[in-house]
Amino acid sequence: MTDTLTIRVSSGSGTGRTPLAAFDAALAAAGVSDFNLVRLSSIVPPGAAVQEVERHDQLRGAHGDVLFCVYAQAHASLPGHEAWAGIAWSRHEDGSGAGLFVEHEGPSNEQVSADLTHSLQDLSATRGNRYHPEGRRITGITCVTMPVCAVVVATYRHVGWQELQHG
């Protein structure tokens, strides 16, 4: 018997002397900085629970574990420019828990919000309009002097290297 999959959605933003350092700071703010990220496409398995969490309630694992996730990341390096990232999700009307994630990045909250809405609508239309919006998480940051990054991450599962080698 397997436990129910809980997909945890968190967000963070950060600043660094390089865009990569800003990305790392944003991952730390989202609670996932010490994982190796494996980016998934945007399907929510049947029976999964999707839960918005803060960084301290994100998945925990060993340093360097592999983290299966969906994420959006946005960067800005010019003073006054903004970086916005968001994830939205919908669920199938049959109550199975099956669903879809969409992720977008952009220079404004308005653009990311509109892109999330349009993508969910189009993905649902492709599947017979049987998916309905359930939630979204958007975060943003404005560049002052150093590069910035905004991240939203939906974490599925983490796996240690020993398990990957033998499993």
Judge whether 67 and 37 are in contact, CB under 8 Å: yes
Residue 1 placed within a domain: no
Task: Read off the pTM.
Answer: 0.93
CATH of the domain at 47: 3.50.20.10
Residue 114 placed within a domain: yes
Question: What's the average model confidence in pLDDT over 70-79?
Answer: 98
Sorted by sequence, the CB contacts under 8 Å of residue 39 that are 6+ apart come out as 69, 70, 71
Question: What's the average model confidence in pLDDT over 2-31?
Answer: 95
Return the number of other C-beta atoms located less than 10 Å from residue 136's C-beta: 19
- What's the confidence (pLDDT) of residue 30? 98
Determine the straight-line distance between the first and last CA of the chain, rounded to whole angstroms. Answer: 18
- What's the confidence (pLDDT) of residue 38? 96
Residue 54 placed within a domain: yes
Count of residues making up the chain: 167
Residue 51 placed within a domain: yes
Quote the domain boundaries for residue 22. Answer: 6-166
Q: Residue 4 — very low, low, confident or very high, per pLDDT cuts 50/70/90? A: confident
pLDDT digits (tens, 9 = 90+) for 127-161: 999 999 999 999 999 999 999 999 999 999 999 98
Nearest-angstrom CA–CA distance, 103 and 87? 4
- Average predicted confidence (pLDDT) for the chain: 95
Q: How many domains does the chain have?
A: 1
Residue 83 placed within a domain: yes
Per the listing, tokens 């049959």 go with 94
- What's the confidence (pLDDT) of residue 1? 40
Residue 13 placed within a domain: yes
- What's the confidence (pLDDT) of residue 120? 97
pLDDT digits (tens, 9 = 90+) for 32-66: 999 999 999 989 999 999 999 999 999 999 999 99
Share of the chain above pLDDT 70, in %: 98
- Cα separation values, 95 from 2, 56, 86, Å: 19, 30, 25
Residue 52 placed within a domain: yes
Return the number of other C-beta atoms located less than 10 Å from residue 156's C-beta: 18
- What's the confidence (pLDDT) of residue 167? 56
Judge whether 103 and 70 are in contact, CB under 8 Å: yes
